Each structure stands twice: as C-alpha cells, then as structure tokens.
Amino acid sequence: MNRMEEDIMKKIQYFSIIFLVAGTAGLYAQAGPKGDAAKGKETFNQQCGLCHDATSTDMKMAPGLKGLFKRPKLSTNGKPTNDANVLDKIMTGGNGMPPFKDMGLSAGDIANLMAYLKTL
C-alpha cells in the first residue's frame, strides 16, 4: 500500500469513528438520557469495575471514577467532563481502555451506565 492509499485509509477510519460516535449519541438520546442508575450500576460492575473504582478517585488499573461528572475535565484527555465526551471515551476507548462500541451494549445499557456515572 502506498502513502496516498494509507492516508485515504486513515481518513476513512477517522470518519467512521466520528459517524459511529455520532450515531451512538443519537441512540443514547433516543433511549432517554436519564436511564436507570441501578441497572447502570450492574453494567458498570460487569463491564467497567475490573479496571475502574466507583468509590474512589484512586487508580485501580484505570482512573477511579468517584465524582466523575463533578470534575471540570476528564483526567485521561483533558476534555471537559460532559455527556458527549464521556460517551466518546466509553465508545472509542484509548490509553489502554478498550472501545466499548463493539461490546454489544444497547442504547439502553449506555443510558443506564451514564445515569449511574452521574451518581458517583
């Protein structure tokens, strides 16, 4: 593959991720951004709890998430802590975190998880 083809492939991958995140955000909005925090806690324990601590800001394998939505910025990328940036981090991963876009979470699961994260 030559340099030009590599550049085109990178652009296609980049835009695919953007469209995926935008589509997931749309599904999240349709599911109702409030979600069910109790169900979200179950999802957190199954999908996130191995690496993230919900009751502390201390590092486990990854940053502790206590008070996540009270923080001005995300610790991993410095972006403002808001629904869109937290959702983007969940879906695309990075810095050792796997992308959860391919993990089979439904729009309802995501809405529930976001509701739970807001209770921390």
Strands (E), 6-100: none
pTM: 0.72
User: Could you count the other beta carbons within 10 Å of the beta carbon of residue 92?
Assistant: 17
Distance CA 99, CA 44 (A): 15
pLDDT greater at residue 23 or residue 103: 103
Query: According to the CATH classification, is domain 3-117 in 1.10.760.10?
Result: yes
Question: In this predicted structure, what is the pLDDT of residue 31?
Answer: 46
Domain boundaries, given as residue ranges, for the chain = 3-117
- At residue 3, does pLDDT exceed 60? yes
